[in-house]
Amino acid sequence: MSPQRPPLLWFNIFIFVSSLLLAAVVTPWYAFNYGLSWVHLIWFVIAFSFTNLSITAGYHRLWSHKTYQASPILKAIFAIGGAFSLQNSALHWSSDHREHHKHVDHDVKDPYSASRGFWYSHIGWMLRDYNQSTYSDYQNCRDLKKDKVVQWQHKYYAPLALITNFGFPILLGVIYNDIVGMFLVIGAVRLVLSHHTTFFINSLAHIWGKQTFTDKNSARDNGILAFFTFGEGYHNFHHLFENDYRNGIDWWHYDPTKWLIKACSWVGLTEKLRVTPQFKIEKARATMMLQNAHQKLNEMDASPSLTNKLEQEFESLIESMRDYYDSKMHLLQNKKQQVLKSHELEVLKIRHLQLKEQFQYQQQIWMDNVKRFA
């Protein structure tokens, strides 16, 4: 006899279905009959960015993972934007997300486990009361229970959600003399797209993309998803280095959430931004490349000598990598503390450049070897 499924969450179902119907059916009808203007599009982009960044920079990287510290003003902005996003309170959201990272891909303990399929991880887990016992006391968020802004938002989440989701669109409608149009675009369309772009990180980002840094879980790196999710698409990196305020670590990675957090630090709204040591990142990347190369060699039934050569190149790479990043850290510390004399600092710089050249040389050899099995 199969176990009884949890009861349906009818309020959640109503929100998802009604907003989808308004966005996908009523809005096109209204646009065809009454028209929409650039004003609607501009305010849609503003509202969509506000809500999504409140989730990515606030709910996710600030409160769920504590990757940086924020001023009360910025916290309040994120709390209001989070209520506007209609994704529950920051305390509730963070509790779910911490369980997800702690038990990723576990069929029972991960609230939105990708191992249970796309539908479940995308939206199905919110349609039934699968995780009722999780929210009795929020013991996995004891730190957030001491955060006054988080507690204020949690206590007044319902009125904040109503005020933002009805108040903002109606106010814009009054200003631009189109209450219905603004409610449809800023209310329904923005809400549906905000919901599902966030949900894609729980579902699609565990299915589509590359496992650049680890294969210990299903998370993937995907630049296309990053574009639609304000940088959250570099999910494989995030699951291995969850305490880093960045998801996209390279300069060409599209990560507006990272840019916002960094820009806020320049004006004193954020501080203590946490960054993973570059050595750990590069070592994880190289280890995955080695693992993939091993798999190809096994498929080719390659000779042990070829495997041994690859292992030796990997060890040489890691050694030169460690020396280079140790040298870099030592040089930066001495520059900051100004403890060395000028000529001693010059010697240190020369040594650092030598180690950099050695690392780059070893890295090129490594890449040439690995490409043969890509």
25 pLDDT above the threshold of 80: yes
pLDDT at residue 87 above 60? yes
| Site of tokens 């009884």 | 4
What is the maximum span of the chain, computed from C-alpha positions, in angstroms?
Answer: 79
Type of residue at 76: A
Q: What is the pLDDT of residue 2?
A: 53
Mean pLDDT of the chain: 91
Q: What is the pLDDT of residue 257?
A: 98
DSSP string, 296-313: HHHHHT--HHHHHHHHHH
Lowest-confidence segment of 34-38, 94-98, 347-351 by average pLDDT? 347-351
pLDDT given for residue 341 in this prediction? 60
pLDDT per residue over 280-323, tens digit each? 999 999 999 888 888 887 777 777 777 888 888 888 888 888 98
What residue ranges do the domains of the chain occupy?
Answer: 10-271, 278-372
**Contact between residue 129 and residue 122 where contact means Cβ atoms under 8 Å apart:** no
**Percentage of residues of the chain with pLDDT beyond 70:** 94
> 124-158: per-residue pLDDT in tens?
999 998 876 666 679 999 999 999 999 999 999 99
- Give me the mean pLDDT over the 58-87 stretch: 98
In the chain, % of residues over pLDDT 90: 72
pLDDT score, position 344: 66
* 340: pLDDT strictly greater than 60: no
The Cβ of residue 54 has, within 10 Å, a number of other Cβ atoms equal to 24
Q: Mean pLDDT, to the nearest integer, of 243-255? A: 95
* Residue 100's pLDDT band (cuts 50, 70, 90): very high
DSSP H helical ranges for 177-277: 179-182, 190-202, 223-228, 235-240, 256-266
Cα–Cα distances in angstroms (integers) from residue 294 to residues 205, 213, 312, in the given order: 25, 15, 13
pLDDT of amino acid 146: 96
* Token reading at 248: 């996209």
**Higher pLDDT residue, 113 or 357?**
113
The reported pLDDT for the residue numbered 19 is 97
Q: In the predicted model, is pLDDT for residue 62 greater than 90?
A: yes
pLDDT attached to residue 306: 78
Give the pair of three-digit tokens for residue 327. Answer: 């040298």
Q: Report the 10 Å Cβ neighbour count for 28.
A: 13
- The residue written with tokens 């030796």 in the block is 312
pLDDT of residue 133: 63
Q: Name which residue leads in pLDDT, 239 or 320.
A: 239
- Residue 83 is which amino acid? A
Q: What is the pTM of this model?
A: 0.91
Q: Model confidence at 196, in pLDDT bands (50, 70, 90)?
A: very high
- CA distance linking residue 255 with residue 52, whole number of Å: 12
Q: What pLDDT sits at residue 1?
A: 42
Whether the per-residue pLDDT at 371 is higher than 60: the answer is yes
Q: In sequence order, what E strands does 48-106 have?
A: 69-70
- Token couple for 355: 């180690």
**313 alpha-carbon distance from chain centroid:** 33
